[in-house]
Chains A and B, each alone.
Chain A
Amino acid sequence: QSALTQPASVSEYPGQSITISCTGTASDVGGYNYVSWYQQHPGKAPKLMIYDVTKRPSGVSNRFSASKSGNTASLTISGLQAEDEADYYCSSYTISDTSNWVFGGGTKLTVL
């Protein structure tokens, strides 16, 4: 099972915007509109932020948006706040694994 590729870390100043990428293949990210993004603070369970590539669950700030182009999905966080500092994981439906699910390797976001 190959994880989706994410940058290990990103950093930006409060109030700025940042984009986290998630690169897969045509067997997962590129082939299906089933990309999700999760936020995880230390010691906590992941929280769903985006599903079906671009949809935000109720209660998630509209500072979080997402998109997809080809085999790469992206999560953008605008107006960065200290509370956004966390690990972010993408996931996708896949036909390359018998589970049909795959996660990215995670990205540590630091708000400077």
Chain B
Amino acid sequence: QITLKESGPTLVKPTQTLTLTCTFSGFSLTTTGVGVGWIRQPPGKALEWLGIIYWNGDNRYSTSLKSRLTITMDTSKNQVVLTVTNVDPLDTGTYFCAHRPAPYYTLDYWGQGTLVTVSS
């Protein structure tokens, strides 16, 4: 059974760095083709793709946010970490991590999401 869970701060001040952790179970991020993606959703708005890390360490980031995003993985801990630098109130929203099954371009299991508010 695949599960994912996001964790991190609920409140971050503008200009600070946001770090979120996705802890997963039921799959290995060393399996060829597997990935873990990050998606966010501002309150009342649509899903927004942020980026993904693949089994081989390759990253793909959203064009509009790539200068501020970093995704890393710790396969020994079954964790993926998202870092967003220089946050702004527009970064407020629920952040989800999700499992990408090989070899498909889809996300079949999602975490419950974690709400992050950027405010001074």
A contact set with B: CB distance below 8 Å: 1, 3, 32, 34, 36, 38, 40, 45-48, 51-52, 57, 89, 91-93, 97-106
Select the stretch in B16-24, B60-68, B74-82, B85-93 that faces chain A.
B60-68
- Contact across chains for B49 and A93 when beta carbons are under 8 A apart: no
Residues of B within 8 A of A51 (CB): 104-106, 108
Q: Can you give 25 A-B contacts (C-beta < 8 A)?
A: A1-B62, A36-B106, A45-B96, A45-B110, A45-B111, A46-B39, A46-B98, A46-B107, A47-B110, A48-B107, A52-B106, A91-B106, A92-B105, A93-B105, A99-B50, A99-B51, A99-B63, A101-B49, A101-B52, A101-B60, A103-B46, A103-B48, A105-B46, A106-B46, A106-B47
- Contact across chains for A1 and B60 when beta carbons are under 8 A apart: no
B120 → A minimal CB distance (Å) = 27
Chain B residues within 8 Å of chain A by Cβ, number: 26
B contact set with A: CB distance below 8 Å: 37, 39, 46-52, 60-64, 66, 96, 98, 104-108, 110-113
Residues of B within 8 A of A93 (CB): 105
- Contact across chains for A97 and B63 when beta carbons are under 8 A apart: yes
A61 → B minimal CB distance (Å) = 16
- Contact across chains for B47 and A89 when beta carbons are under 8 A apart: yes
Complexed CA–CA distance, A76 and B73 (Å) = 37
Residues of A within 8 A of B50 (CB): 99
Complexed CA–CA distance, A1 and B48 (Å) = 10
Beyond A52-B106, A98-B61, A103-B46, 14 extra complex contacts between A and B, CB < 8 Å: A1-B63, A34-B106, A36-B105, A45-B110, A45-B112, A45-B113, A46-B110, A48-B107, A51-B104, A91-B47, A98-B60, A99-B60, A99-B62, A101-B60
